[in-house]
């Protein structure tokens, strides 16, 4: 069978999807929830609770004040202990609402019954408002506030909703499990998003290494008009929105433009599920599916974790202490994830998984000289020249970096992954990219 | 003669004459008058183009100097690497009064040695502070402390700053440092500061920039400023050289008389001096002036 994929670049790292067969289980309730205020791309939520306030599950604790920001709700019930700095995913201390847990009392407005609600009653504007109110962010990893994509614009109209069920990152299986266990909910979520975006076609891209998910979703999609499931050839980084749009629709998103410019809205299947729960069940985004996996772990798993639970709870849940020889704990997938400072870092809306990797997998070799093999150029999905960008960034020639379109880099890490000389390509490209973006910002302000 | 050669010579000759005329008029029309003194002043400057003066290179500074000399006010202009001699030579050439510049030196304000702030994490990314800084708070957990990857060393044009392998911190060579300030901007955490060298090389500084609460800072580093403010209270009342802000003490160099009283009282040893500080004295005699002693390295280590 000739499967679709994106045309340019890409790599295929070992999949290692150990936890694909493990059903999603609830993680349980932490003793104390540290809910970080910056849970989304953009501006942090502004806290609306203070020390001593009683909160229930689903109570609003942070409000979106900026345009690109999201509401934040309590994931537990209890008393607000304080608003203090805790070490977050950024590696630095960031402000968080710390809630001491007492019982598990939910807001009455939340429909906790397992019944599927298929009738979409709300009008498009009301749906977008609801998505915003319930603090939904993109659950693929970038945590972009979901409602912003549906605000629409007068001169650009979407015709297709692209749903990302690719999960191209090795190890992670949270979306895979969701597609197996909550396919109906995802379908309704997609219908809700289609209504909100005023589109009548939705394409769900799923990589062919998840045949059970493809089949399950296909069976369910028959009952929902306009939704088509498209199996895709396994290729990293297919889950990146530009690559996914190219693979599914053969449309290229120009440099510096958004999917909406080519008539698409892109969302993750996890987001579709969250949208279903928000719009149909009135439930804010307070929990998400997180994978815990690693080669050395005897048991791996997928857990429905409350936002703000410490990451160490995942390890306890699979009944393990830290396995011998673990060198690095990665939050997110191994390709784009970030090593954690500590195992106690709270789970946030963007945590798709926790991957424990050992020395052999993580330790970088001593970088050698570039041998001009151009492998990095071949795998770059954005058509950039990573070896050149690395050199320019290293020499701080940021003007040349800008001319070589460094800001188009999606930081997928394919170049570093493939480099036979083990050069820290992405590290320096990121260094150059942040500097170029700073320079561009300063120029705009002038 | 071969007519081909003749024709080509003639054509080229006409072309050359035409081009010469155009060039002549263009050069006339767009002539830039430049003060000849600028070149000569630039020759007097060290020519390192370090940017320590705040101008783009030595020539840029020379232009500024000539302009300032014409205006009759050369205060505020200083060439840190050249020092007083260079500025005096420039002043003599331009016939203007040169402002007195305080000799400065780069000071590394972090005491998080491998011993005092033991690393809890490993980092094996590229050896560049800026990259590590954007990734995490550092191997020892201090979000303000030195990352020890040597961006300051790499940027120094004067071989004046080196990494101490034992402590993992950069050490400034006072003799070689010309206070150009390149390391100050190279450090992503702004740990390095230019401070006056002080009379007879006597200076006192707080060797920490951690703004966290005392207990939090102490957790990561035994040498952190813990915001106890004993130093602030120890400083003679007439002097009051300490600025205490955001859980951090800072010594105002304009006010500090480098008496060194605050050095021994700091419970974490976060205040350093280039001289042997006096022993703590009872509060009744706050204004003790110790005998000036030559700079000793033991206090900085």
Kindly report, residue by residue over B78-130, the tens digit of the pLDDT. Answer: 888 887 788 888 888 888 777 777 888 999 999 999 889 999 888 888 999 99
**Does residue B300 surpass a pLDDT of 70?**
no
> Do residues A135 and A277 both lie within one domain?
yes
- Give mean pLDDT, residues A27-34: 93
Mutation site for A-interface testing, chosen from B121, B144, B182, B220 by largest number of A Cβ within 10 Å: B121
**Does residue A319 surpass a pLDDT of 70?**
yes
List of chain A residues whose C-beta atoms are within 8 Å of the C-beta of residue B136: 91-92, 339, 341
**Does residue B298 surpass a pLDDT of 50?**
no
> Do residues A243 and A379 both lie within one domain?
no
A395 at B interface, C-beta within 8 A: no
CB B262 within 8 A of CB B247: no
Is A341 within 8 Å of B137 when comparing Cβ atoms? yes
B135 at A interface, C-beta within 8 A: yes
pTM (two decimals): 0.84
Mean of the per-residue pLDDT values of chain B: 86
Kindly report, residue by residue over A46-86, the tens digit of the pLDDT. Answer: 999 999 999 999 999 999 999 999 999 999 999 999 999 89
**Does residue B288 surpass a pLDDT of 80?**
no
Six-digit token string for B241: 């050289």
A424 at B interface, C-beta within 8 A: yes
A338 at B interface, C-beta within 8 A: yes
Higher pLDDT, A2 or A59: A59
List of chain B residues whose C-beta atoms are within 8 Å of the C-beta of residue A93: 137, 143, 212
Q: Quick one: which H or E segment has residue B170? A: strand B170-172
* Euclidean distance between CA atoms B250 and B144, whole angstroms: 15
Higher pLDDT, B97 or A239: A239
Range in A407-416, B185-194, B270-279 with the lowest mean pLDDT: B270-279
Mutation site for A-interface testing, chosen from B127, B128, B145 by largest number of A Cβ within 10 Å: B128
CB neighbours of residue A413 within 10 Å: 23
pLDDT given for residue B90 in this prediction: 87
Angle CA A384–A388–A389, to nearest 5 = 70
Q: Quick one: which H or E segment has residue B172? A: strand B170-172
Is residue A186 one of the residues assigned to a domain? yes
**Count of domains forming chain A:** 2
Q: How many CB pairs under 8 A join A and B?
A: 38
- In the structure, what pLDDT confidence band is assigned to residue B33 with cuts at 50, 70 and 90? confident
Kindly report, residue by residue over A422-434, the tens digit of the pLDDT. Answer: 999 999 999 999 9
In chain B, the residue whose alpha carbon lies closest to the alpha carbon of A430 is B131
pLDDT given for residue B92 in this prediction: 87
- Give mean pLDDT, residues B264-268: 92
Select from A257, A281, A305 the last residue of a domain: A281
Is A91 within 8 Å of B136 when comparing Cβ atoms? yes
Kindly report, residue by residue over A151-171, the tens digit of the pLDDT. Answer: 877 778 899 999 999 999 999
Residues of chain B above pLDDT 70, percent: 92
Mutation site for A-interface testing, chosen from B123, B125, B126 by largest number of A Cβ within 10 Å: B126
Is A92 within 8 Å of B122 when comparing Cβ atoms? no
Is residue A424 one of the residues assigned to a domain? yes
Is residue A353 one of the residues assigned to a domain? no
pLDDT given for residue B282 in this prediction: 56
3-state secondary structure chain A: CCCECCCCCCECCCCCCHHHHCCEEECCCCCEEEEECCCCCCCCCEECCCCCCEECECCEEEECCCCCCCCEECCCCEEEEEEEEEECCCCCEEEEEEEEECCCCECCCCCCCCCCCCCCCCCHHHHHHHHHHCCCECCCCCCCEHHHHHCCECCECCCEEEEEECCCCCCCCHHHHHHHHCHHHHHHHHHHHHHHHCCCCEEEEEECCCHHHHHHHHHHHCCCCCEEEEEECCCECCCCHHHHHHHHHCCCCCCCCCHHHHCEEEEEHHHHHHHHHHHHHCCCCCEEEEEEEECCCCCCEEEEEECCCECHHHHHHCCCCCCCCEEEEEECCCCCCEECCCCCCECCCCCCEEEEEEHHHHCCCCCCCCCCCCHHHHHCCCCCCHHHHHHHHHCCCHHHHHHCCHHHCCCCCHHHHHCCCCCCHHHHHHHHHHHHHHHHHHHHHC
Kindly report, residue by residue over B42-56, the tens digit of the pLDDT. Answer: 898 988 888 778 888
Select from A281, A305, A330 the last residue of a domain: A281
Residue (of A206, A336, A219, A202) closest to A275 by Cα position: A202
Distances in Å between the Cα of A23 and the Cα atoms of A181, A276, A291, A304 are 8, 20, 11, 10
Which residue in B124, B135, B143 is closest to A364 by CB distance?
A: B124
Mean of the per-residue pLDDT values of chain A: 92
- Give mean pLDDT, residues A11-23: 92
B25 at A interface, C-beta within 8 A: no
- In the structure, what pLDDT confidence band is assigned to residue A362 with cuts at 50, 70 and 90? confident
pLDDT given for residue A292 in this prediction: 94
Own/partner contacts of B291-295, CB < 8 Å, gap of 24 or more, are B292/B199, B292/B200, B292/B202, B294/B200, B294/B201, B295/B174, B295/B200, B295/B201, B295/B202
Is residue A234 one of the residues assigned to a domain? yes
Here the ipTM equals 0.86
pLDDT given for residue B286 in this prediction: 44
Select from A281, A297, A328 the last residue of a domain: A281
How close B126 comes to chain A (CA, Å)?
6
Residue (of A29, A28, A32) closest to A81 by Cα position: A32
Is residue A289 one of the residues assigned to a domain? no
- In the structure, what pLDDT confidence band is assigned to residue B281 with cuts at 50, 70 and 90? low
Q: What 3-state class would DSSP assign to B18?
A: helix
Residue A69 pairs in a beta bridge with: none
Residue B108: exposed, middle, or buried by beta-carbon count in 10 A (0-12, 13-18, 19+)? Answer: buried
Is residue A349 one of the residues assigned to a domain? no
CB A434 within 8 A of CB B130: no
pLDDT given for residue B301 in this prediction: 35
**Sequence-distant (≥ 6) Cβ neighbours of residue A253 within 8 angstroms:** A241, A242, A245, A246, A259, A261, A262
Which residue in B124, B125, B136 is closest to A341 by CB distance?
A: B136
Is A364 within 8 Å of B136 when comparing Cβ atoms? no
Angle CA B125–B126–B132, to nearest 5 = 70
- Give mean pLDDT, residues A389-406: 95
Is residue A275 one of the residues assigned to a domain? yes
A364 at B interface, C-beta within 8 A: yes
Specify the CATH number for the domain of residue A246: 3.40.50.11540
What is the domain extent for residue A270? Answer: 124-281
Residue A214: exposed, middle, or buried by beta-carbon count in 10 A (0-12, 13-18, 19+)? Answer: buried
Is residue A268 one of the residues assigned to a domain? yes
B215 at A interface, C-beta within 8 A: no
Kindly report, residue by residue over A245-265, the tens digit of the pLDDT. Answer: 999 999 999 998 989 999 999
CB A23 within 8 A of CB A303: no
């Amino acid at each position: 069978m000739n499967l679709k994929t994106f045309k340019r670049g890409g790599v295929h790292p070992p999949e290692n999807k150990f936890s694909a067969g493990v059903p999603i289980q609830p993680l349980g309730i932490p003793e104390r929830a540290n809910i970080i205020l910056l849970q989304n791309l953009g501006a942090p939520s502004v806290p609306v609770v203070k020390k001593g306030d009683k909160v229930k599950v689903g109570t609003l604790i942070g409000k979106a004040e900026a345009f690109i920001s999201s509401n934040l709700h309590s994931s537990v019930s209890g008393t607000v202990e304080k608003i203090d700095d805790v070490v977050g995913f950024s590696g630095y201390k960031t402000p968080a609402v710390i809630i001491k847990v007492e019982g598990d009392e939910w807001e009455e407005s939340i429909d906790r019954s397992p019944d599927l609600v298929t009738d979409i009653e709300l009008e498009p504007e009301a749906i977008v408002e609801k998505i915003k109110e319930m603090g939904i962010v993109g659950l693929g990893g970038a945590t972009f506030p979901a409602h912003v994509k549906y605000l629409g614009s007068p001169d650009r109209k979407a015709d297709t909703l692209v749903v990302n069920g690719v999960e191209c990152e090795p190890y992670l299986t949270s979306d895979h499990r969701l597609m197996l266990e909550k396919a109906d909910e995802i379908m309704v979520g997609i219908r809700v998003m289609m209504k909100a975006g005023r589109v009548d076609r939705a394409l769900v891209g799923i990589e062919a290494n998840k045949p059970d998910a493809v089949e399950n979703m296909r069976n369910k999609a028959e009952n929902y008009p306009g939704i088509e499931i498209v199996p895709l050839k396994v290729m990293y980084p297919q889950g990146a929105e530009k690559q996914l749009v190219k693979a599914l629709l053969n449309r290229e998103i120009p440099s510096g433009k958004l999917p909406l410019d080519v008539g698409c809205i892109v969302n993750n299947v996890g987001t579709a599920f969250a949208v279903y729960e928000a719009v149909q069940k009135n439930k804010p985004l307070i929990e998400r599916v997180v994978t815990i996996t690693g080669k050395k772990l005897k048991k791996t798993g997928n857990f429905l974790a409350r936002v703000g639970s410490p990451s160490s709870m995942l390890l306890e849940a699979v009944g393990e202490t830290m396995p011998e020889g673990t060198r690095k704990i990665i939050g997110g997938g191994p390709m784009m994830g970030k090593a954690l400072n500590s195992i106690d870092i709270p789970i946030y809306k963007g945590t798709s998984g926790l991957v424990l990797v050992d020395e052999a997998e993580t330790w970088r070799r001593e970088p050698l000289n570039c041998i001009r093999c151009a492998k990095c150029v071949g795998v770059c999905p954005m058509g950039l020249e990573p070896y050149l960008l690395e050199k320019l960034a290293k020499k701080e020639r940021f003007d040349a970096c800008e001319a070589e379109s460094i800001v188009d880099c999606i930081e997928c890490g394919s170049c570093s992954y493939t480099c036979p000389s083990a050069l820290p390509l992405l590290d320096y490209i990121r260094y150059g990219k942040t500097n170029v973006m700073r320079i561009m910002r300063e120029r705009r302000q002038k | 003669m071969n007519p081909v050669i003749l024709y080509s010579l003639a054509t080229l000759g006409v072309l050359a004459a035409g081009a010469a005329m155009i060039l002549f008029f263009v050069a006339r029309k767009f002539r830039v008058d430049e003060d000849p003194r600028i070149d000569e002043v630039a020759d007097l400057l060290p020519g390192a183009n370090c940017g320590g003066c705040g101008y783009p290179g030595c020539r840029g500074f020379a232009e500024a100097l000539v302009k300032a000399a014409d205006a009759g006010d050369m205060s505020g202009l200083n060439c840190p690497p050249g020092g007083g001699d260079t500025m005096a030579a420039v002043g003599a050439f331009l016939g203007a009064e040169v402002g007195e510049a305080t000799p400065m030196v780069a000071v590394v304000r972090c005491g998080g040695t491998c011993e005092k702030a033991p690393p809890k994490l490993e980092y094996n990314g590229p050896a560049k502070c800026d990259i590590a800084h954007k990734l995490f708070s550092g191997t020892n957990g201090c979000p303000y402390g030195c990352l020890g990857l040597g961006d300051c060393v790499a940027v120094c044009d004067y071989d004046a700053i080196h990494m101490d392998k034992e402590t993992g911190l950069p050490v400034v060579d006072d003799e070689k440092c010309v206070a150009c300030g390149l390391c100050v901007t190279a450090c992503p955490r702004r740990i390095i500061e230019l401070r006056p060298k002080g009379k007879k090389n006597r200076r006192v500084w707080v060797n920490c920039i951690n703004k966290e609460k005392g207990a939090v800072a102490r957790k990561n580093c035994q040498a952190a400023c813990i915001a106890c403010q004993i130093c602030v209270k120890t400083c003679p009342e007439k002097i009051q050289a300490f600025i205490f802000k955001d859980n951090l003490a800072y010594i105002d160099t304009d006010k500090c008389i480098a008496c060194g009283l605050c050095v021994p009282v700091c419970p974490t040893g976060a205040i350093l001096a280039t001289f042997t500080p006096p022993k703590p004295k009872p509060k009744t005699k706050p204004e003790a002036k110790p005998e000036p002693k030559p700079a000793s390295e033991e206090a900085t280590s």
